[in-house]
Amino acid sequence: MRDFGGTTVVVSGAATGLGRALCERFGRAGSRIVALDRDAAALRRAVEALQASGVSALGCDCDVTDEAACRQAIQAGAARFGGIDLLVCNAGISHHGEFVRTLPDVIRRVMAVNFLGAMHCTHAALPELLARRGMVVAISSVAGFAPLVGRTGYAASKHALHGFFDSLRSEVADAGVAVMLVCPSFIATDIDRHALDPQGNPYRGTKAIAGKTATPAEIADLIYEAARRERRLVLPGATARIAWWLSRLAPAGYARIMARRMRL
């Protein structure tokens, strides 16, 4: 069981939604928070709220697609708090639309944020994590292990996280660094509001898949408890667990069910 009291936790995509909830949850456990986000105004509000609640927090403006910005932010957090113990790769973006109608640049943008952003942050933080026997938590999705109609780029980016972090785990386990993948289903966040349409413009349609949503705070609690136990894979909620097993035991059936529920 890990104890996060007195540790330094870096969270990307920290200004709103699940990222902010994770900052709050680890902050309540006594962690020092390094919050990364490209929305400077929202980041400032989040950090001020953390500090007002007694949490030691540093905000760093950071676009995770910029490798140098990620390295600078990680170094700033380590310098401020004396090291990095946990990295949470949470920053993400989605898109909606059949691949035949989607510009390749949209897929590239999604991959740049969801996969390369996580890789940039991890590469920058890994020396600190190795030195302190730390931990990486990557926020994936049900789309990280199963198909998702109408969001090929999003699914590809999340599948890539699994290949990357499962492989990284095998490299760093003997050094005492833990790696955990989290695959939520539906969370009440603004990811759809900030999603891209097939031409790369803001998506103005309805939510793509109907389903019961969890609050960011509920998922943050589950992630915190799983991180304490150094779980390798976390499937928060019944929907994620059902999707995991159904996609493996009856993949064709899973694809048909998912396609019927899809609204493009």
Tell me if 43 sits within 8 A of 20, measured CB to CB.
no
CA 264/CA 258 separation, integer angstroms: 12
* Residue pair 84/132 in contact by the 8 Å Cβ criterion: yes
- Token pair of 107, please? 């897929």
Enclosing H/E stretch for 36: strand 32-37
Q: Where are the alpha helices (DSSP H) in 88-213?
A: 104-111, 117-131, 152-172
Given the residues 154, 203, 224, 254, select the one marked as catalytic: 154
Residue 254 known to be catalytic = no
**Cα–Cα distance for residue pair 121/76, rounded to 1 Å:** 13
Q: What is the DSSP letter of 203?
A: P
Catalytic residues: 154
